[in-house]
Every structure is written in C-alpha cells, then in structure tokens.
Structure 1
Amino acid sequence: MPSKYQPQVSAWREDLHKGIYTTKSHLSNNKKLRYANDDYCELSRRFTGMGSLLIRLIVIILFFICVLIIISGLVAVLFAIFYLDTHKALFILSFFLLLISSPIFIQFFLTFLFCPEDCPVRFNRKTGKVYIYDHFLLYCGSWATFTRSPFRAKEITVKEFNWADIQGCMTSVSVPIASGGMVRSYRLECVVCEPNTTKVIDHFLLAGSTSLGYNEWMWINSYMAFSDNNLDAEFMPEEDFTWPIKVNWPEEIDKKSKASSLEEYQKIDAEYKKLGNK
C-alpha cells in the first residue's frame, strides 16, 4: 500500500502516527536534545561522528588528496593528448572521465569543509511553528550531488513550517555486502503538506539510523502536545572538540522560534516586515 501523502518520498517504508503516544514507557530523545524549555525545543540532526573534529579532518584530508590526484591526472592526460601520438583516443576518454568526476569530489570536499557542526530543527509548541536549519551535507548522495554547484558549500537554508502541516514517515535503503546479506539504513523523514490536504509540498530529514526506531518522532509528538511526563529531558553530551563552524540562526528566525505565544510571534513578524519595507 502506498503512502497516504503524495507525491511519495523516495525509499518510503511506512507512514507514522501523529498524536500523543499513550505508552507509559520512558520516551528517549536518543541524545539528540540540544535545548528545551516550556516554549520550544531544539533537536540535533547531526549524524554519528559528524561533529567529531578528528573524523572531519581525516575526511577533508582524504578528499583533498583525491582532488589533487584528479587535478594531476587531468594535467597528465592533457599533456599526453597534445604531445603523444600513441593511444590518443584512450587519453581523450580518460580526460573526459576525470573532468566529469572532479566536480563530484570537489563537491564532497567543500561540503565537509564548510558545513556547520550541526543542522538542528526547532519545534515551538506555543506558536505551532517548526524551523529547519538545513545544509547540503544532510542530502549528499542524492541526485543534487551531481547537479548542484560545488561552490554553494557554505549555503545555509532556513525554513519555517506549521506543525499542523507536518507528517512523519519512515524510509529505508538496503545495500548488499560482500560477505552476503544486506545492510539496511533507516531515515525518519517529515513531509510538509498543503494545509488540510495530503499533498506533499516539501520534506526534510529528521533522523538517520541503522536500526528501526521511532523514538525522536514519538518524543516530538508528545512534546508538542504538552505531554511531558514521560519525556527524556537529558541534553545531548558535549564533545571535547567541536567543529569551528557553529550553528548561527538568522536573528529574525531566532526570535520567532523562541516566542512564548502567537501574539509575541506576530509582533516580531510585524517588526521585521516594517524594517524590510524601509
């Protein structure tokens, strides 16, 4: 049976229930809670190891070496094309293959170099708003990897949605391994629908994992419904070393996402609209 929400997200597995989860069990946030109070909470979307300085540096060095090898290869092949007569067709083919692959390596290299330490999402239960801090790192490996300009690596996208328009779904991808069997990865995704419809107009990643779990989704649903009794309120542990590029919410969004009421939100919105019209 297909997803209720169309067009269906890629690798869809199942739609998730939205509402208060009546389980009496302790609902874990999987150590993803960056901050929470009675107005809003902020959850991390950092993959395991994404914030590790050592791992990040190793990846960047490896990509840098790959880029240098590709550039050296391009120079060598160009030299062979213009100055060597034998196997010229092979050298021309090699040149085009290197030319096609180099933007992909540069894309990964610059993405890891300039991405922030985290790409959090904020949920404000007093205003019913959701705020997404997006970077391309979360979607590396999608078709955009091949079409997006590598020089947009610093670009941050901030989006605002209504919680009422958001639904949850689980996606999964299976990859065969050399020793036999399959490795399956799961992603909690949120789809954004047009108000009072099931027509999907946007979607964003909430969490990725190698195990099938709904903890974050259940936690968020209960939090947004002011059902805090069995919620894990422990903040995510701090790391000794963190990446120097920090999360920096735009001032307007930062104020809106922390508003204690719809009236306060509307006041902030009016102030910035007034400033924008000057």
Structure 2
Amino acid sequence: MPSKYQPQVSAWCQDLYKWVYTTNLHLSNNKKLRYANDDFCEFSRRTTGWGKIGRLITMICLGLMMFMILFILYMVIPGIVEDEIINKLIYIPSCIVFIYFAYILIQLFFYLLYAPEDFPIRLNRKTGKVYIYDHFLLYFGSLATFTRSPFRAKEITVKEFNWADIQGCMASVSVPLASGGTVRSYRIECVVCEPNTTKVIDHFLLTAGSPSYNEWMWINNYMAFYDDNLDGELMPEDEFTWPIKVNWPEEIDKKSKASSLEEYQKI
C-alpha cells in the first residue's frame, strides 16, 4: 500500500501518525534537543559522525583516495601495460572514470568543509510555524549530487512552513553485505502538503539512522502543548565544534521566537 501523501518520498516504508502520544514513560528526544522553552524548541539534524573529528578524518581519507587514484593512473597502468594501443584503450576510459569519481569526491570534500556545524529545525508552537536550516550535505547521495556544482557548498537554505501542513513518513534503504545478509538504514522525512490536501509540495529530512521515531513523537506532543511526558535533556556540548556556526537570518530568528501570532505579524 503506497503512502497517502503523493508524490511519495523515495524509499518510503510507512506514514507516521500525527497526534499526541500518551505514555507513562518520558518520550526521548535522542539527545537531539538543542533548546526548548514555552514558545519554541530547536532540534539538531546533524548526522552522526559529522562532528569536527569525523569531518577531518573523512576529508583526509578523501584526499588519500584522490592521490591513490591519480597514482594508479599515471604510474601503475603505464608500467603494467606495455602495448601502446592496449595502454590507450585502458588509460582513456580510466581517465573518464577518474574524472567522474573526482567530481563526486571533490564535491563531498567541499560540502564537508563549508557546511555549518548543524542543520537545525526550529518549531514555534505559539505561532504554529516550522523553520528549516538546510544544507545540501544532508541530502548528499541523492540524484541532485550528480548535477549540483561543488561551488555551491556554502549555500544555506532557510524555509518556513506551517506545522498544520507537515506530515511524517518513515523511509528505509537496505544494503546487501558481502558476507551475506543486509544492513538497513532508516530516516524520517517530513512532507509538506498543500493546505487541507495530501499533495506533497516539499519535503525535508528530520532524522536519520534510527528505526525509532522518538523525535517525531516528541515534536508532536510539544506542538500540542502536551509536555508531561517529554524528555527535556539537552544534547551534550561537543568537545570539538566546527568553526562554521548556525546563523539564522535576523528576521527568521525573530519570527521563530515570537510568543504569539500578533507578535509574529508585527515582525
């Protein structure tokens, strides 16, 4: 059975309920809560491993991969294949493949270098507005990866939506292992529909990695002013942080912190 929200998000596996989740246990925020008060809350959407150390290690590995590919092209292949015609038949396609991989690796390198330390979502329950601080690193690996310029690595997109128009979907991808079996990864995608319809006009990533939907339940209860069972623990301060900080535009920052619709409309 397909999603009732169409067009359907990639790798969709189920629609999530949007209601107040009542439970005797605290609803965990999975240590993703950056800030919360009676007006608004802010959740981290940073992927695990994209902290300072993780990024630096990944960038070093990317550089080493580029060097190894270059070394194979210019040193190993010409030395192994002595026949000039066969050499060209191997060398030219290898160069084309190298250029393709280099494009992807360089793109990832720049996105890791220039992406901010986090890509938060801010939800204001007094105004019913949701604000997304988006960077393409969250969507790296999608089809847009193969057409997007690496020189847009600094680009930040900030979007504002109505909470009433947002629904949740779980998506899942399975990857086979060489030793047998599969590894399955999960993510929660939020779809934005036209008001009072199920027609999807936009979507964004809420969280990835865990098969649970704790963050989705937490946010639903918070937006409904049902705070009794919410885990209020904030995400831990990182020992190492990336130098590029989250910088909300001034107008959006004020709107997202408004205590009422009247205050919001005056901004």
> Matched residue pairs, number?
262
Shift of 1:99: 1.9
Task: For residue 160 of structure 1, give the secondary structure of its aligned residue in structure 2.
Answer: strand
Aligned amino acid, residue 236 of structure 2: P
- Structure 1 partner of 2:244: 245
CA contact (8 A) 2:14 2:170 kept: yes
- Structure 1 partner of 2:226: 227
- Structure 2 partner of 1:18: 18
Aligned amino acid, residue 254 of structure 1: D
Q: 1:85 to 1:176 in 2, by over 3 A?
A: closer
Distance 2:156 2:259 in 1: 26
Aligned amino acid, residue 93 of structure 1: P
Distance 1:114 1:7 in 2: 32
Shift of 1:75: 6.8
Matched, 1:186 2:192: no
Matched, 1:125 2:125: yes
Shift of 1:142: 0.8
Shift of 1:201: 0.5
Matched, 1:236 2:238: no
- Structure 2 partner of 1:163: 163
Task: For residue 58 of structure 2, give the secondary structure of its aligned residue in structure 1.
Answer: helix
Identity score, percent: 71
- Structure 2 partner of 1:264: 263
Q: 1:76 to 1:179 in 2, by over 3 A?
A: closer
- Structure 2 partner of 1:275: none
TM-score (structure 2 length as normaliser): 0.93
Moved beyond 3 Å, runs of 4+: 67-77
Gaps in structure 1 of 5+ consecutive residues: 269-278
Distance 1:195 1:218 in 2: 22
Distance 1:180 1:145 in 2: 29
TM-score (structure 1 length as normaliser): 0.89
Distance 2:151 2:199 in 1: 33
- Structure 2 partner of 1:8: 8
CA RMSD of aligned residues (A): 1.9
Distance 1:158 1:208 in 2: 20
- Structure 1 partner of 2:28: 28
Shift of 1:63: 1.2
